[in-house]
Structure 1
Amino acid sequence: MDASGLQALATGAMSRPTDTAARRGPFRPDVWLNSRERHASRLAVHYFRAFDVLAVTAITLLSAWAVAPGALARAELSLVLPFVAGATVVLALMRSLGLYRFVRTRSVPIHLAAVSGIVAAGAVTVIGLGALMRGGQGLWSAYLVWTGLVLISLHALHMGWSDLVGRWRASGSLTPNVVLVGATGHAEQLIREALKHRDLNVLGIFDDRMARSPRAIEGVPVLGRADDLLTHHMTPYVDRIVLAIDPRAEARVRDLTARLRTLPNEVTLLVEPNDDTEYAMVVQRLSRAPLAALDGPVDDDRRAFNKRIQDLAVGLVAAVLLAPVLAVIAVLIRLDSPGPALFRQRRHGFNQEEIVVWKFRSMRHDAADATASRQVTVDDERVTRIGRLLRATSLDELPQLLNVLKGEMSLVGPRPHAIGMKTGHIESARLVAEYAHRHRIKPGMTGWAAVNGSRGPLHSAQDVRRRVQLDVDYIERQSFWLDLWIMAVTIPVLLGDRRTVR
């Protein structure tokens, strides 16, 4: 969705007309990216480091082979170890000294100077260890060539990384988007401070006291009540919800927190700053969106990066190996009933983003149900002959490998539900308060709920509640090994289930 489209949606949520300035607001990013897309940009730091590791490793192996031709495994240790030690020092210092954070306050020349200093430390290690191990008979020219190649390679790579991050920041890809709850003086001061530096996008304000609230604060529109935020089309573009209300109003804080916790977005309470300096610190803290950290314990960013690498590696292999199967299924569908082989459906993705999910068509084309308003039943007349086989074996889900490779879905995660899907006559999302929590991670082709018996149609509020509980349980426990286990047991679990209607 482009900026004008999102602004139109924002306008539609307002409870009364406003002028153009208030309707559009002062924060208009050049590029409107949803949370998943901005998160993917932040994870780029892991790819940057991977390229650095590959470059330094290649130069090190090449240098070691040059001084010890033949099999490196049988080479004299004194010839190879200095290069390995130097490479280890360079890569370790690049990571530990924060050279992958690309913070706003560090200019490119200073960043490259830091890279040069780290390479110099690696060179000292190579030369010193080489002289020590070879009794002063070091391979000085080889050491200097290694140093020069590492320096040139890392300078070229980091100039590219810095330029890319700079362009992302200029377009708003790395600028956090927030909405404020509470049309208060705190909100006004926070917006003024954000406007000074443009490090934070305040997309809108929501306030329960619409009768008393202004139409806009410092040009940022008041878009509705707090409850309107629960279903607002702006939500997938929001990184954080800030409660800009008096923290001493404990009852109101508890009430708003309880109502907003059903959203997948992080909620932050703005503790009352005392002066402009403290407001500036608040904005700096909210806008601090460095690229994903590489050090410290495993965090959400690193876990997301590992999961993405897993999706790409396994997904690409699966797509190649299953290509003949996909082609045969597509032909059988076309022969079985008129209509296209593939079926598209709008579903909820990460952070309630709307995505288009691909499936093999298993119903008659004229009976397609894009909103899942009527869930599948036993002997459903809409399902075709080949469709019954595809649904029984879940082969109809295989085209979602395209969604996985695009980054909209994961191999493992909560199953994406159709937007507006109903359980009985009630929209499923309205049956369980924590329903949106299942959107805190990318939806998956299979998942913890699927291998624990919760799959297929949801016929009651109890079914929805159990599915959501299993999905939230997976999100809290997610790990590389759990994902591998779920993938390994998916096929035998699904094929061994003869009771669930799919």
Structure 2
Amino acid sequence: MPDDTGAHRAIADSAGATPAHRRGPLRPKRLQSVRNRVSGAGLARLFQAGDAAGLVLASLIASQFMALPEVMWLGAPALALVLLVATGAYSMNTRERLRRRLGRLLIAAAAAGGGAGTVCGLIDPTFPAIGCAAWVAAASMALFATHGIWMLVLRRLRAIGQLTPNLIIVGGTAAAQRLIRRALKTRDVNILGVFDDRRERVGPEVCGVPVLGKTADLIDHRILPYVDRIVITVPPKASARIAQLLERLAPIPNPISLLLDGEDEESEAKAVGRIADFDLMHVAGASERSGYLLAKRVLDLTLSVAGLIILAPLMAAVAIAIRLDSPGPIFFRQRRHGYMNEEFLVWKFRSMRTEATDHKAARQVTANDDRITRVGKFIRKTSLDELPQILNIITGEMSIVGPRPHAIGMLSGGAEASKLVETYAHRHRIKPGLTGWAAVNGSRGPVDTPEDVRRRVALDLEYVERQSFWLDVSIILRTAPCLLGDSGAVR
């Protein structure tokens, strides 16, 4: 078995191994994969929860000086949160001045306190105005404190590359140059490189950012797992060119946005500013649903940790059986594609003879395959060989539900599976899973023919489009019955 210790780290290092003068001025020293980066929308919800707690605490403090009715206790904090969201207090805009932010918080607290106080006055004419003033003062101080903490957290996350968006630009146009110059000034986005089919005319760099190749070179580029968004910069009248670029970039799983060149200065400035806040015109790619992703991650951790504890005796028994059955390691590790084409090491119990191990999936498993050991036949038939992937779920490389991760370069019918379907990589717009929509709908095990690959990809993309928390629960509940009733499947 080849030495693959630290392989995942090596992939990240290789993406950052370019000489400093070729990295450009906007590329961080250490790239963070999209999977490991912080969700801006999820972070905003966390900040909102913190503000809610702060406002409730403010009500408690104010009530120590004056009795507050329930309308002030509950209504004022809720109204303040609504006003903060409506006025964009959680946009994480790095360009907003401190004075303006503090003014926004003060206005939200005053408006919420005044509104709730008015209702209290209508209900009880004897309600003193000083009660409203006490709440506004306490709420303002609470919001100043929480947002001061949020600003420090944001600054730290941006400094270590966990939050600042990583962009790739397609098209070395004047709009691209203005975007790069603005990024150099504000540092609110990282621009990793430029791709342009007119490389000879554009030159080796655009405003210091290296030109990494032509559009076709972007399809399989190793930089993709670290890219949050691809921005196409083209003249607005070049509709044919836009359509051509979108067609060429169709196999890429990363989100794609348009920045039209030639707009008036004010409109373009607003569009460029929205890039850093991930609010540009969305063209292709998965849209972030932070609430669902958080619930999915909680479900993954809960079930995987519980499963690891409950199944530990069974996994130990399988490990002993493998050791007694044939010489070689207990585990089999294989590099596979994950979220946004990121390469990672998947863990399985070894089911093949060591000398016949197939790390590149060059040969699909067949019935009565002579490479499979006696124990291997049983654990593959029952899918027990997949149990070590619980570790991949805990580390965040996989999820319980998602498209099954395929080996890199896997062959099907003599052809590379990823080349048989143009939208194959779209299945990587979400994390791979231990089970999935394809598995519970009959597409399980090897994909021996191009038709098998197309059906598997079609089912995976159907899940990508339909994914929801309750669909995940449904798939989990259907997995065991499907496995037990799938005795004819080759595994």
Q: Hey, what does 1:312 align to over in structure 2?
A: 298
Matches of 1:342 and 1:321, distance apart in 2: 18
Is this contact kept in 1: 2:332–2:350, CA < 8 A?
A: yes
Is this contact kept in 2: 1:315–1:405, CA < 8 A?
A: yes
Equivalent runs, 1:40-189 vs 2, <5 Å = 40-54=39-53, 56=55, 80=70, 82-108=72-98, 110-124=100-114, 133=123, 136=126, 153-184=142-173, 187-189=176-178
CA change 1:360–1:110 in 2 (3 A) is: farther
Range that drifts further, 388-397 or 270-279: 270-279
Q: Hey, what does 1:296 align to over in structure 2?
A: none
Q: Which of 443, 463, 480 is the aligned partner of 2:469?
A: 480
CA change 1:214–1:456 in 2 (3 A) is: same
Range that drifts further, 400-409 or 349-358: 400-409
Structure 1 position 448, deviation (Å): 1.3
Q: Hey, what does 1:224 align to over in structure 2?
A: 213
| Partner AA of 2:95 in structure 1 | T
Structure 1 position 438, deviation (Å): 0.9
Please provide the CA RMSD for this pair. Answer: 3.7
Structure 1 position 461, deviation (Å): 1.0
Structure 1 position 464, deviation (Å): 0.9
Range that drifts further, 240-249 or 346-355: 240-249
Is this contact kept in 1: 2:62–2:138, CA < 8 A?
A: no
Q: Does 1:201 align with 2:210?
A: no
Q: Which of 449, 453, 457 is the aligned partner of 1:468?
A: 457
**Unmatched 5+ stretches in structure 1:** 12-19, 69-77, 292-298
Q: Does 1:300 align with 2:290?
A: no
Q: Hey, what does 2:310 align to over in structure 1?
A: 324
Q: Which of 422, 425, 440 is the aligned partner of 1:433?
A: 422
| Partner AA of 2:409 in structure 1 | G
Matches of 2:304 and 2:160, distance apart in 1: 35
CA change 1:342–1:305 in 2 (3 A) is: farther
Structure 1 position 135, deviation (Å): 6.1
Q: Hey, what does 2:361 align to over in structure 1?
A: 372
Q: Secondary structure at the match of 1:26?
A: coil
Structure 1 position 26, deviation (Å): 2.2
Structure 1 position 259, deviation (Å): 1.6
Q: Which of 478, 481, 495 is the aligned partner of 2:484?
A: 495
Give the alignment's TM-score, normalised by structure 2: 0.82
Equivalent runs, 1:195-274 vs 2, <5 Å = 195-246=184-235, 248-273=237-262
**1:480-502 per-position Cα deviation (integer Å, ceiling 9, x unaligned):** 22222222212212221112222
Matches of 1:455 and 1:260, distance apart in 2: 29
Q: Does 1:28 align with 2:14?
A: no
Is this contact kept in 1: 2:392–2:398, CA < 8 A?
A: yes
Q: Does 1:359 align with 2:348?
A: yes
Q: Hey, what does 2:441 align to over in structure 1?
A: 452
**Unmatched 5+ stretches in structure 2:** 1-8, 281-285
Q: Secondary structure at the match of 1:180?
A: strand
| Partner AA of 2:434 in structure 1 | M
Is this contact kept in 2: 1:30–1:172, CA < 8 A?
A: no
Structure 1 position 334, deviation (Å): 2.8
Matches of 1:109 and 1:473, distance apart in 2: 48
Q: Percent identity?
A: 42
Is this contact kept in 2: 1:330–1:360, CA < 8 A?
A: no
Matches of 1:179 and 1:434, distance apart in 2: 20
Is this contact kept in 1: 2:199–2:214, CA < 8 A?
A: yes
| Partner AA of 1:239 in structure 2 | D
CA change 1:132–1:353 in 2 (3 A) is: same
Structure 1 position 236, deviation (Å): 1.5
Q: Secondary structure at the match of 2:364?
A: coil
| Partner AA of 1:346 in structure 2 | R
Is this contact kept in 1: 2:338–2:432, CA < 8 A?
A: yes
CA change 1:153–1:422 in 2 (3 A) is: farther
Q: Secondary structure at the match of 1:346?
A: strand
